[in-house]
Amino acid sequence: MSVTYIDAIREAQEKLLREDDRVFLYGQDIATFGGAFKATKGLAEQFPNRVFDAPISEDAMIGMAVGAAIEGMRPIVEMQFADFSSIAFNQIVNQAATHFYRTGVPIPLTVRLPSGGTPGSGPFHSQSMEGIYAQYPGLVVLTPATVSDAYHMLLDGVALDDPVIYCEHKFLYRWLKAKSINGDHLPIGQARITRPGKHATVVAYSAMVHEAVRAADRLAQDGWEIEVVDLRSVKPLDLDTILASVARTGRLLAVGEAFPWGGVTAEVIARVTEEGFHLLDAPPQRLNARDTPVPYHPKLWAAHRPTPESICEALRKLLSF
Amino acid sequence: MPTVPILMPQLGESIAEATVIRLGIAVGDSVRTDQEIIEVETNKAVMGVTTLCDGVVSELRAVEGVSYSVGTLLGLLEVTDAEVLRTGVESLESIEAKRSATNQTNSPAQAEANLHFALDDDAYEEAPAVVPSIKGLPVPTGTMGAHYISPRMRARMNDLGIREADISAIAGTGAGGRVTVEDLERFLDYLGTWPSSNASPMRLAVADAMRRSWTRPLATVGLPLLLDRALDHRRAQSPKPGLTLYLLRAFALALTENPTTAGYLIGDKVVHPRSFDIGVAVQVEDGVVVPVVRKVDQKTLSDLVAEYDDLVDRARRRRLTEQDCSGGIATVTNFGTFGLTTGTPIPLPNETLILGIGAGVKKPVWSAQVEAFLPAIEADLLLTFDHRVVDGGGAGVLLNRVSELLQKPEAL
Amino acid sequence: MQPYADGVVTNRDFLRSVFHSMLRARILENKLSSLYKAGKIVGGVYLGRGQEAVSASLGTALIQGSDFFAPLIRDQAGRTAFGEPLIDCTRTYLGSVEGPMRGRDGNIHRGRPKMGMPAMISHLGAQVPVIAGMLFAKRLQGTLHGRVGATCIGDGATSTGAFHEGLNLAAVERLPMVVVVANNQFAYSTPNHRQFACADLVEKARGYGIGGFSVDGTDLMACASVIGEAVRIAREGGGPQLVVARLLRLSGHGEHDDGSYVPAEIRSGFYGRDCIEVAMRQLVENQFATVDEILAWQEEVAEEVQRAVAQAQQEAVPDPYHEDWTALATRFPLTLSQAQ
Q: What pLDDT score was predicted for residue B88?
A: 86
Single residue among A178, A211, A244 that ends a domain in this structure: A178
Cβ contact (<8 Å) for A90 and C133? no
Does residue B297 lie within any of the structural domains? yes
Q: Does residue B246 sit in the same domain as residue B364? A: yes
One-letter amino acid at C325 equals W
Does residue A72 lie within any of the structural domains? yes
CA distance B268 to A74: 66
Q: What pLDDT score was predicted for residue C99?
A: 96
Per DSSP, chain C holds a count of helices (H) and strands (E) of: 12, 9
Give the domain CATH number at A131: 3.40.50.970
Q: Does residue B214 sit in the same domain as residue B192? A: no
Total count of domains within chain C = 1
Per-residue pLDDT averaged across A173-186, rounded?
88
Q: Are C230 and C243 in contact (CB under 8 A)?
A: yes
Q: Does residue A218 sit in the same domain as residue A253? A: yes
One-letter amino acid at C185 equals Q
| 3 state DSSP class of B23 | strand
Does residue A133 lie within any of the structural domains? yes
One-letter amino acid at B118 equals A
Strand partners, A286: A254
Task: Suggest the residue from A57, A85, A139 to mutate for an interface test with chain C (most C CBs closer than 10 A).
Answer: A57
Q: Does residue A168 sit in the same domain as residue A309? A: no
Do chain A and C touch: 3 or more Cβ pairs under 8 angstroms?
Answer: yes
pLDDT exceeds 70 at position B201: yes
Residue of chain A minimizing CA distance to C135: A68
Region of C116 please: left (phi>0), alpha (psi -120 to 50) or beta.
Answer: left
Does residue B201 lie within any of the structural domains? no
- Collect all residues of chain C within an 8 Å Cβ-Cβ radius of residue A67: 118, 129-137
Cβ burial of B190 (10 Å; 0-12, 13-18, 19+) is exposed
Residue A96 carries which DSSP code? Answer: I
CA distance B128 to B254: 75
Which of B332, B350, B326, B335 lies closest to B215, judged by CA? B350
**pLDDT band at residue B103, thresholds of 50, 70 and 90?**
low
Q: State the first-to-last Cα distance of chain B, in angstroms, to the nearest integer.
A: 116
What's the per-residue H, E or C state across C66-119? Answer: CCEEECCCCCHHHHHHCCCCHHHHHHHHHCCCCCCCCCCCCCCCCCEHHHCECC
Find the largest Cα–Cα distance for chain B: 132
Strand partners, B353: B330, B385
- Collect all residues of chain C within an 8 Å Cβ-Cβ radius of residue A106: 329
Mark the ranges of chain C whose per-residue pLDDT is less than 70: 1-10, 336, 338-340
Residue of chain A minimizing CA distance to B139: A321
How far does A217 lie from chain B, in Å, by closest CA? 12
Torsion angle of the four alpha carbons A69, A73, A74, A75, in this order, in degrees rounded to the nearest 10: -80
For B314, phi and psi rounded to 5 degrees? -65, -35
CA distance B58 to B76: 6
CA distance C267 to C283: 24
Q: Is A199 a catalytic residue?
A: no
B35 lies within 8 A of chain A by CB: no
Q: What pLDDT score was predicted for residue C339?
A: 58
Q: What pLDDT score was predicted for residue B135?
A: 45
- Among the partner residues A278, A279, A302, nearest to B112 by beta-carbon distance: A302
CA distance A40 to C269: 58
Does residue A123 lie within any of the structural domains? yes
Does residue B19 lie within any of the structural domains? yes
Does residue B131 lie within any of the structural domains? no
- Among the partner residues A120, A211, A278, nearest to B116 by beta-carbon distance: A211
Q: Does residue A202 sit in the same domain as residue A135? A: no
Dihedral sign for Cα atoms in the order B20, B24, B26, B28: negative
Q: What pLDDT score was predicted for residue B46?
A: 84
For B260, phi and psi rounded to 5 degrees? -65, -20
- Among the partner residues C113, C335, C338, nearest to A70 by beta-carbon distance: C113
Do chain C and B touch: 3 or more Cβ pairs under 8 angstroms?
Answer: no
Residues contacting residue A203 through CB under 8 Å, at least 6 positions apart: A191, A229, A231, A242, A245, A252, A253, A254, A255, A265, A268
pLDDT > 90 in chain B, percent: 59
Reported as a single tens digit per residue, the pLDDT across B268-279 is 899 999 999 999
CA distance B325 to B322: 5
Find the largest Cα–Cα distance for chain C: 70
How far does B153 lie from chain A, in Å, by closest CA? 6
- Collect all residues of chain A within an 8 Å Cβ-Cβ radius of residue C105: 102
Instruction: Kindly list the partner chains of chain B, i.e. chains with 3 or more CB atom pairs below 8 Å.
Output: A
Per-residue pLDDT averaged across A47-57, rounded?
97
Residue of chain C minimizing CA distance to A163: C328
Residues contacting residue C6 through CB under 8 Å, at least 6 positions apart: none
Q: State the first-to-last Cα distance of chain C, in angstroms, to the nearest integer.
A: 46
CA distance C103 to A24: 34
Q: Does residue B224 sit in the same domain as residue B373? A: yes
**pLDDT band at residue B99, thresholds of 50, 70 and 90?**
confident
Q: Does residue B13 sit in the same domain as residue B148? A: no
Single residue among B69, B94, B123 that ends a domain in this structure: B123
One-letter amino acid at A200 equals A
Residues contacting residue B113 through CB under 8 Å, at least 6 positions apart: A119, A175, B16, B70
Find the largest Cα–Cα distance for chain A: 60
- Among the partner residues A70, A87, A95, nearest to C121 by beta-carbon distance: A95
Torsion angle of the four alpha carbons A295, A6, A141, A208, in this order, in degrees rounded to the nearest 10: -50
Per-residue pLDDT averaged across A149-167, rounded?
97
Give the domain CATH number at B98: 2.40.50.100
- Collect all residues of chain A within an 8 Å Cβ-Cβ radius of residue C340: 156, 159
One-letter amino acid at A144 equals P
Does residue B130 lie within any of the structural domains? no
Q: Does residue B230 sit in the same domain as residue B288? A: yes
One-letter amino acid at B95 equals I
Single residue among A178, A209, A238 that ends a domain in this structure: A178
Residues contacting residue C131 through CB under 8 Å, at least 6 positions apart: A67, C68, C70, C118, C149, C150, C151, C170, C177
Does residue A15 lie within any of the structural domains? yes
| Out of B60-69, B117-126, B205-214, C218-227, least confident range | B117-126
pLDDT exceeds 50 at position B113: no
Residue of chain A minimizing CA distance to B121: A214
Q: Does residue A76 sit in the same domain as residue A142? A: yes
Q: What pLDDT score was predicted for residue A191?
A: 97
Helices (H), chain C: 12-37, 52-61, 76-81, 86-94, 127-141, 161-172, 203-208, 220-235, 264-267, 275-285, 291-314, 336-339
B25: number of Cβ within 10 Å? 20
**pLDDT band at residue B175, thresholds of 50, 70 and 90?**
confident
pLDDT exceeds 90 at position A279: yes
Per-residue pLDDT averaged across B71-81, rounded?
91
Give the domain CATH number at B170: 4.10.320
- Among the partner residues A173, A177, A308, nearest to B119 by beta-carbon distance: A177
Q: Are B25 and B37 in contact (CB under 8 A)?
A: yes
Give the domain CATH number at A257: 3.40.50.920
Return residues 57-76 of A near B (CB < 8 Å).
Answer: none
A281 lies within 8 A of chain B by CB: yes
Does residue A183 lie within any of the structural domains? no
Q: Does residue B80 sit in the same domain as residue B158? A: no
How far does A316 lie from chain C, in Å, by closest CA? 34
Q: Does residue B152 sit in the same domain as residue B215? A: no
Q: Does residue B169 sit in the same domain as residue B253? A: no
Q: Does residue A81 sit in the same domain as residue A43? A: yes
Inter-axis angle of helices C275-285 and C12-37, nearest 10: 150
A100 lies within 8 A of chain C by CB: yes
Residue B357, CB half-sphere, CA atoms under 13 Å: how many? Answer: 28
CA distance B329 to B321: 18
Cβ contact (<8 Å) for A298 and B107? yes
Residue of chain A minimizing CA distance to B13: A118
pLDDT exceeds 90 at position B1: no
Reported as a single tens digit per residue, the pLDDT across B291-328 is 999 999 999 998 999 999 999 999 998 899 989 999 99
Q: What pLDDT score was predicted for residue B138?
A: 58
Catalytic position from the list A99, A125, A152, A169: A125
How far does A263 lie from chain B, in Å, by closest CA? 22
In which domain, by residue range, is C136 found? 4-339
Q: ∠ CA(C85), CA(C87), CA(C92), 5° rounding?
A: 115
Does residue A157 lie within any of the structural domains? yes
Q: What pLDDT score was predicted for residue C340?
A: 57
Which of B248, B252, B304 lies closest to B275, judged by CA? B252
Q: Does residue B241 sit in the same domain as residue B350? A: yes
Cβ burial of B129 (10 Å; 0-12, 13-18, 19+) is exposed
CA distance A27 to A11: 17
- Collect all residues of chain B within an 8 Å Cβ-Cβ radius of residue A124: none
A19: number of Cβ within 10 Å? 9
Residues contacting residue A251 through CB under 8 Å, at least 6 positions apart: A199, A200, A201, A280, A281, A282, A284, A318, A319, A321
Does residue A171 lie within any of the structural domains? yes
- Collect all residues of chain B within an 8 Å Cβ-Cβ radius of residue A281: 150-153, 180-181
Q: Does residue A215 sit in the same domain as residue A173? A: no
Per-residue pLDDT averaged across B343-354, rounded?
96
Q: What pLDDT score was predicted for residue B399?
A: 97
**pLDDT band at residue B122, thresholds of 50, 70 and 90?**
very low
A8 lies within 8 A of chain B by CB: no
Q: What pLDDT score was predicted for residue C320?
A: 92
Q: Does residue B359 sit in the same domain as residue B225? A: yes
This model of the complex carries an ipTM of 0.94
Total count of domains within chain B = 3
Q: Are C197 and C261 in contact (CB under 8 A)?
A: no
In which domain, by residue range, is B183 found? 144-196
Which of A26, A30, A37 lies closest to A4, judged by CA? A37
C22 lies within 8 A of chain A by CB: no
In which domain, by residue range, is A164 found? 3-178
Cβ contact (<8 Å) for A236 and C329? no
Total count of domains within chain A = 2
pLDDT exceeds 90 at position B177: no
Give the domain CATH number at C334: 3.40.50.970
Does residue B135 lie within any of the structural domains? no
pLDDT exceeds 60 at position B134: no
Q: Does residue B94 sit in the same domain as residue B21? A: yes
Which of A281, A242, A299, A241 lies closest to A265, judged by CA? A242
Does residue B115 lie within any of the structural domains? yes
CA distance C130 to C210: 18
- Collect all residues of chain B within an 8 Å Cβ-Cβ radius of residue A210: 116-117
For B291, phi and psi rounded to 5 degrees? -70, 155
Whole-structure pTM value: 0.79
Reported as a single tens digit per residue, the pLDDT across A206-255 is 999 999 999 999 999 999 999 999 999 999 999 999 999 999 999 999 99
Q: Does residue B214 sit in the same domain as residue B314? A: yes
Return residues 164-223 of C near A (CB < 8 Å).
Answer: 165-166, 168-169, 172
Residue C312, CB half-sphere, CA atoms under 13 Å: how many? Answer: 27
Mean pLDDT in chain B? Answer: 86
Q: Are B331 and B291 in contact (CB under 8 A)?
A: no
Per-residue pLDDT averaged across B215-235, rounded?
95
Instruction: Kindly list the partner chains of chain C, i.e. chains with 3 or more CB atom pairs below 8 Å.
Output: A
Reported as a single tens digit per residue, the pLDDT across B362-398 is 999 998 999 999 999 999 999 999 999 999 999 999 9
